[in-house]
Structure 1
C-alpha cells in the first residue's frame, strides 16, 4: 500500500514528538518541516534559559505554526527548573492559600517565562480533584479535594497562562484524582457512576472551558460507567459525547503520553494507540518522552494505513489537524495582556504553609529528611530544606532502614525536625516518627499530600503542600531556620 504524501502530512499534523539532547537532531526538525505538529520538551532538553531559547528558535525555523509544549506546572512538576526546583508553589499550595488572584498571577508569570523562551503550549494546569489521599500520581499537583475550589483556581490558572499567549491544557479528563494507581504503570479504574463523575470530577473542566482553555488532555483511566474496559483516551463516549457534545468544548483534545502503560498495553503498542485515540476524538497525540524517530514515523504510518484501509475516516484526521492548526495560529495572534512578576512564588508558598501544634523556633534541631522516590511525572528534582537552612545539621535516611538509637544519640538534647513527602505512605515512617516523638520534641514537615494521620506525641505538624524550591524556603522560614 503506497503512502500518499498529502496523507502522511496530515498524519504528522496530529503528532507531538520528543527527542533527547540539548539541541534538536536533524530528524526532529525535518519532521516538523514535513508537517508534524510539534515537540514536547523535557528536563533532558533543558540546561539554561539561553540554550532553551536557541533550541526553540531552531524548531520554529522549520516552518510556521510549530507547537512547542512543556509540562511546566510549577510546584513538584517543573522542566525549566528541574535542576534546582521550581520557584513557584504548585497547585495544592495555591489551593491552600485560597486566593485565585495569586493563582492567576503565578500562572501568568509562568506563561510569560514560557512565551519568552519560544514555548507556546503548556501541558498544565492539572485540574483533577484529588479525593484519594494515597493517589500516587496527582497529589500536590491538584488544587484540592473540593470540586468548587479546584474549579475556581482552574479558571484563574487558564486565564493567567493564556494572557501570555501560551495555550493552557487542563488535565486529565475526565478526572484522575480518585485513582490509587499510576497510569504511567498500569490502567487505573475510577468505579463511580456518571452522576458522581459529573458532580465531583467535571466542575473544574467546565470552569476551564468557560475560561476559554485552548486544550484539554485526556486521561489513561478507565471509568466503567462510561468507557467500559477502555481508557478514556480511546473512548468516543468520553471525548466526543461527553467533552464535545455535552460540555461544548471546541478546542484541541490532547492525549496524555501514548507510551504510558495505561494506553500502550491496552492498544497493543504506541502506533496502535495513536489510531484509537484519533478515532475516539483526540486531535493532538503526545507520543511520549522515551521515543525516537522510528517510533514517531511508526505512529504516522499507522495513521496513514488506518485511513487507507477504512478504519479511520479521513475527515476525522482533517478535523484534528484543522483544530491543531488553529491553536498554533492563536499563539501568534493574541494580545499579551499579562506580565511577569519574578519572586512572586516565594511569598505565595509561605502563605500556604499550615501549622498544627507549636514549634519551638528558638532551639536548633537535627533535621532528618526521609528519602522517597519521585513520581514519574515529576522526575528527579531536588527537594527538602537542604539549601534553605542556616547551617543546621541535616541528615537523610530511609525510614524503614533507620537506626532509631543512632538517631536519638545524634540528636542528643536537640529537638528533631522530620521532613518527608507523603510521610504516611513511606514504609516504616509512621513507626519511626512515633518512636522519635516518644523521647524528643518532634516537628514533622509534610511536603507531600497530607493524610488524616498525625504522629502521636509530635509537637507540631507543618504542611507545605508541595516540595518545590519555593516550598522548601517557606518551610525553612516557618521553622525559623532560613539562611
Structure 2
C-alpha cells in the first residue's frame, strides 16, 4: 500500500467541519483528494438560508463525492434554519406521547425532504436513546420516552420516514445515552448496565432501527464498565466490533459522535481518538465543529503513522472506506418525498397534555423562566414569545416574584417552565408566583417531571416553534393555523 493510497483511505473516513457559508479552498482540495464528507454546523455559520445552503452543498459535490451530514433531529436540537427561529417540527418526546407511528413516519419524512432539498444526505438522527434518568442533562425531550418498546416503535418509524425521502438515517447514541446524568460533551458518562440490562432496555430500539434497515449508527462516548472496561464506546472494540457488528449484526456505516467532545478526546487529543475509533471498528469519523483544515492534515498523518507502526491495519481502513462507498451507492438510488409541515403541527397539538380549568386570560403577562440549554441544543430560541403581547423572561434563581406579580395585577398570568425538575431556581420562583396567583397557568416546555400546585397545567413535551404555537393556540394567544406554515 503506497503512501498516497494510504492517505486517501484515511481521508475517506473523515467528516470535518469548516467555517462559513461558502466552501473554503482547503476543503475543496481535500474533497478532490478523497475526503469522505463534511459535517455542517450552525455554530460555524454553515447553515444560511436554504438557497445559499443548496448552493454550498452543490459546490462541495463539484469537488468530490461527499457525504453531507447534519445534526437535525427536529425538536430542540435543530440546525436547518431552526437554530434561528426554533424548529417547525416537534421533537421525539412529543411524538412518543402521541404514540402514532404513522405520524412519526410522516414527520421524519417531511423533515428529511427539507434536508434533501438543500443537499444533505446523511442526518444524525433519530436519537433512539431510552431516557430512564429524569435528570439526564443531554437527552431528555430528545428521546421518544422511557419505555424501550415505545422507543423501538418510533425508532423504526423515524428511520423509515427519513430514508423514504432519500436521506440516510443514523440511529444514535449507541449503546444508549439515556441512563446517565452526565454530558459526553464534558466527560465520559457512566452507564451502569450489564449486557442483560442492555438487551432489555438500550438495545431494543437499536435492534428495531436495524430491522428498519437504518443505513448508519452513531456511537456515544459512554463508559459501560462491563462492556467497554472504562473506555468510551466510541473507542471500544468490544462495543463497536463485538456488540454492534457481532451481536446485533449491523453491516452498515458506523459513525462516531463528534471526536472533539471531551468524552472522546479530552485526555488523548483528536488525532489519537481518530486512530482508536477506526481500530475499534468505526467507519466515518465526525470530527466536530472545531476540527478544520489543519486538523484534517494532522489526523491523516496520525492514521497513516498508526498503519505504518502496526497499530492499525490497512485492511481496517479499506473496510471503512468500503462501507462509505456502500452508503454512497445506496444514496444514488434513494427515493424522494414532499415537505408536509401539517404533520408537524398535528403532532405538536396532539402531544399537548392539559389538566385543570383554563381561566379567561385576556391579554396575560407571560413570564418565561430562563433555562440554560445543553451544548447539543445550543442557543436556539424557544418559548411563547412570537405569540405573547406582553412577555418577560427572567432568571428563576435571581428574579423576585413581587415585581412580576405587580405587573400581572388584574389580568391573566402564564408561567413558562423548561425542565423545572432540573432547575431549583425555576421551581422556587414558580412556587412563589403560584402562592399569590393560584389562578396562573403553568406551561412546562421540557419534561413534565416536577408538577407545581396550580389550577391549570399544560405540558408541551418540547420547546420548538411547533410546540410553542400549539400551546399558544390552546391558551388563546393566537388563532389556530390550518396550513402548517407557522
What's the TM-score once normalised by structure 1's chain length? 0.96
Which residue of structure 2 lines up, in the alignment, with residue 120 of structure 1? 121
Which residue of structure 2 lines up, in the alignment, with residue 176 of structure 1? 177
Which residue of structure 2 lines up, in the alignment, with residue 474 of structure 1? 470
Conserved? CA contact 1:220–1:231, under 8 Å: yes
Check if 1:450 corresponds to 2:451.
no
Decide which of 389, 393, 396 is 1:396's aligned counterpart: 393
Which residue of structure 1 lines up, in the alignment, with residue 482 of structure 2? none
1:40-51 correspondence to structure 2 within 5 Å: 40-43=39-42, 44-51=45-52
| Alpha-carbon displacement from aligned partner over 1:376-407 (angstroms, at most 9, x marks no partner) | 11111111001123x2x111110011122111
- Aligned to 2:341, what secondary structure does the other structure show? coil
| Alpha-carbon displacement from aligned partner over 1:73-130 (angstroms, at most 9, x marks no partner) | 1011111121111111011111111111011001111111111111100010000001
Q: Distance in 2 between matches of 1:159 and 1:151?
A: 12
| Alpha-carbon displacement from aligned partner over 1:391-430 (angstroms, at most 9, x marks no partner) | 2x11111001112211111111323211121112223221
Which residue of structure 2 lines up, in the alignment, with residue 342 of structure 1? 341
Conserved? CA contact 2:104–2:154, under 8 Å: yes
Check if 1:371 corresponds to 2:373.
no
Q: Distance in 1 between matches of 2:27 and 2:366?
A: 46
Runs of 4+ in structure 1 off by over 6 angstroms are: none
| Alpha-carbon displacement from aligned partner over 1:284-337 (angstroms, at most 9, x marks no partner) | 00000112211111111111100011000110110001001110121112333x
Q: Distance in 2 between matches of 1:344 and 1:252?
A: 30
- Aligned to 1:145, what secondary structure does the other structure show? coil
Which residue of structure 2 lines up, in the alignment, with residue 431 of structure 1? 428
Q: Distance in 1 between matches of 2:326 and 2:99?
A: 34
1:15-34 correspondence to structure 2 within 5 Å: 15-34=14-33
Residue 265 (structure 1) shift: 1.9
Which residue of structure 1 lines up, in the alignment, with residue 483 of structure 2? none
Conserved? CA contact 1:133–1:450, under 8 Å: no
Which residue of structure 1 lines up, in the alignment, with residue 190 of structure 2? 189
Check if 1:309 corresponds to 2:306.
no
Conserved? CA contact 1:361–1:479, under 8 Å: no
Conserved? CA contact 2:275–2:306, under 8 Å: yes
- Aligned to 2:392, what secondary structure does the other structure show? strand
Q: Distance in 2 between matches of 1:249 and 1:394?
A: 50
| Alpha-carbon displacement from aligned partner over 1:205-243 (angstroms, at most 9, x marks no partner) | 000000000000000010111011100111111111111
Q: Distance in 2 between matches of 1:5 and 1:238?
A: 31
- Aligned to 1:372, what secondary structure does the other structure show? coil
Check if 1:351 corresponds to 2:347.
no
Decide which of 418, 424, 430 is 2:415's aligned counterpart: 418
Residue 362 (structure 1) shift: 4.6
Structure 2: segments with no counterpart, 5+ residues: 480-486
Decide which of 459, 463, 467 is 1:463's aligned counterpart: 459
Conserved? CA contact 2:170–2:215, under 8 Å: yes
Q: Distance in 2 between matches of 1:257 and 1:361?
A: 48
- Aligned to 2:328, what secondary structure does the other structure show? helix
CA RMSD between the two structures? 1.3
Q: Distance in 2 between matches of 1:415 and 1:113?
A: 39
Which deviates further from its counterpart, 343-352 or 99-108?
343-352
Which deviates further from its counterpart, 365-374 or 159-168?
365-374
Q: Distance in 2 between matches of 1:464 and 1:428?
A: 21
Residue 3 (structure 1) shift: 7.8
Q: Distance in 2 between matches of 1:399 and 1:150?
A: 33
